[in-house]
Amino acid sequence: MSTDSLTDSSVTGLSPSNPAPPPAVPVGGEEDPAFPFHRGGKLEVASSVPLRGRDDLSLAYTPGVARVCTAIADSPELVHDYTWKSRSVAVVTDGTAVLGLGDIGPEAALPVMEGKALLFKKFGGVDAVPICLDCTDVDELVETVARIAPAFGGINLEDISAPRCFEVERRLRDRLDIPVFHDDQHGTAIVVLAALTNALELTRRKPVDIRVVISGAGAAGVAVAAILLAAGVVNIVVTDRGGALHPGRTDLNPIKQTLALTTNPTGVTGSLSDVLAGADVFIGVSGGQVQEELVAAMAPDAIVFALANPTPEVHPEVAARHAAVVATGRSDYPNQINNVLAFPGVFRGALDVRATGISEAMKLAAAQALAGLVGGDLAADRIIPSPFDARVVPAVAAAVADAARAEGLARR
């Protein structure tokens, strides 16, 4: 259908005297419970100290605050003790890859960033500030984030499109001495590894013996492949729209070229349907649809993680006809692969020890801690704990903190 046909008043019934509703409010408007829930925003700033009168005012601001400023100027590490830096994170986006909505811009991304900040506080006790930047140039993004970094204990990058997100994160990690974490990559990867660890235990397989197919070579797919390799999975094939990544392809960007060299050890070629036959594990992070017959052609006791939202690559009930374990990104089915299981605890642990970064070992430790929480409850429909399990954040935070100390990344 053409664009013209969508705006023709003879078709739509709309005219200057009968305009369309504001584009920010879809059909249903206030009848949609999401709108009243979001009205006025989901965040506010609250004081952590009393302000009861003149004496408190003289401590909170001038003249008392000047003495604290002088102490920090003399000993910069005191900023962690006398400001919120030790518990604060900037949630930074440019609005170019928001949920499944794509490039919707910084203003439209703000409700998501507010939601992320809410989750940081609710689950991790971390004060997070949504920062939506009106720039998409990598140099500008890096420079802007670096300039605001002194006010925060960590940087959570969010919803920045691939492949730009990889360079933004790499350059910020090289430049800053605080944790920088792209949650679309590493939060997903941590939870996938935790869930896969338990799924393999349930189906009595070892990482070294399985063949994994990852559909999608964007932010999540690249990070999932990296953490699985670090965890001992040897045979991983990553696919994109052009099929399996392999060194012979000439259409790959630098990130995919590197991935082609570190995965696909047998050099398979072809489409997703070609490489999925006989595979032990399917991990979908692309949104493309997978037909039932492709799942049926996988190995016995297959493991299917169909993580696209809101529509999984294959419906979980369909996948369950042929797979031993099925997970999705949705909360209305068992085994939800939800990043909220990872990022609050990862940052809590990193902030607690004033880590200078977040290493692969810290991510692996987070995944192992998550997997271990299922314990004796392990079942085909319970391979991952609930985000509301009160043990999750303390367990992940402790594991991350211990790993940071072991690697010499902790400052306390």
Question: 205-242 pLDDT, tens per residue?
Answer: 999 999 999 999 999 999 999 999 999 999 999 999 99
Do both 235 and 328 map to the same domain?
Answer: yes
Radius of gyration of the chain (CA): 23
Answer with the one of 178, 204, 226 that is the final residue of a domain.
Answer: 178
Do both 154 and 233 map to the same domain?
Answer: no
How are beta strands 235-240 and 243-244 bridged, if at all? Answer: antiparallel
Select the more confidently predicted residue: 16 or 408. Answer: 408
Do both 260 and 361 map to the same domain?
Answer: yes
Q: Helix or strand or coil: residue 214?
A: strand
Do both 143 and 190 map to the same domain?
Answer: no
CATH number at residue 170: 3.40.50.10380
Q: Please check whether residue 126 lies inside any domain of the structure.
A: yes
State CA 365 to chain mean position distance. 17
What does the alpha-carbon distance between residue 339 and residue 387 come to, in Å, rounded to a whole number? 9
According to DSSP, the residues that pair with 325 across neighbouring strands are: 303
Do both 195 and 148 map to the same domain?
Answer: no
pLDDT of residue 15: 39
- ω into 163 cis (within 30 of 0): yes
Do both 145 and 215 map to the same domain?
Answer: no
Q: Please check whether residue 105 lies inside any domain of the structure.
A: yes
pLDDT tens for residues 321-370? 999 999 999 999 999 999 999 999 999 999 999 999 999 999 999 999 99
Tokens linked to 127: 């004060």
Do both 396 and 292 map to the same domain?
Answer: yes
What is the mean pLDDT of the segment spanning 370-393? 96
401, 353 contact by CB (below 8 A): yes
CATH number at residue 267: 3.40.50.720
Q: Please check whether residue 53 lies inside any domain of the structure.
A: no
Give the total number of structural domains in the chain: 2
376, 328 contact by CB (below 8 A): no
pLDDT above 70 covers what percent of the chain?
A: 93
pLDDT of residue 100: 80
pLDDT of residue 289: 86
Do both 88 and 224 map to the same domain?
Answer: no
Q: Please check whether residue 15 lies inside any domain of the structure.
A: no
The pTM (predicted TM-score) of the whole model is 0.90
Nearest residue to 348 via CA among 128, 34, 199, 193:
128
pLDDT tens for residues 248-289? 999 999 999 999 999 999 999 999 999 999 999 999 998 778
Q: Please check whether residue 58 lies inside any domain of the structure.
A: no
Q: Please check whether residue 45 lies inside any domain of the structure.
A: no
Do both 278 and 369 map to the same domain?
Answer: yes
State CA 319 to chain mean position distance. 24
Q: Which amino acid is at 8?
A: D
Do both 154 and 91 map to the same domain?
Answer: yes
Residue 397 — pLDDT band, cuts 50, 70, 90?
Answer: very high
Domain that holds residue 88: 83-178
User: Distances in Å between the alpha carbon of 140 and those of 136, 164, 206?
Assistant: 7, 12, 44
Q: Which residues contact 206 (CB under 8 A, 6 or more apart)?
A: 200, 232
Q: Which residue has the tokens 């970064």?
A: 357
Do both 320 and 198 map to the same domain?
Answer: yes
pLDDT at 194 over 60: yes
Known binding-site residues for a divalent metal cation equal 158-159, 184
Q: Please check whether residue 141 lies inside any domain of the structure.
A: yes
Answer with the one of 178, 213, 237 that is the final residue of a domain.
Answer: 178
Task: Find the farthest-apart pair of alpha carbons in the chain and give their distance in angstroms, rounded.
Answer: 74
pLDDT of residue 154: 98
What does the alpha-carbon distance between residue 79 and residue 149 come to, in Å, rounded to a whole number? 13
Catalytic status, residue 116: yes
**Catalytic pick from 85, 116, 256, 363?**
116
**Catalytic pick from 61, 85, 333, 363?**
61
Do both 200 and 341 map to the same domain?
Answer: yes
Q: Please check whether residue 362 lies inside any domain of the structure.
A: yes
Answer with the one of 152, 178, 204 that is the final residue of a domain.
Answer: 178
Known binding-site residues equal 158-159, 184, 309, 338
- Give kind and range of the element (H or E) at residue 85: none
Known binding-site residues for (S)-malate equal 309, 338
Q: Helix or strand or coil: residue 10?
A: helix
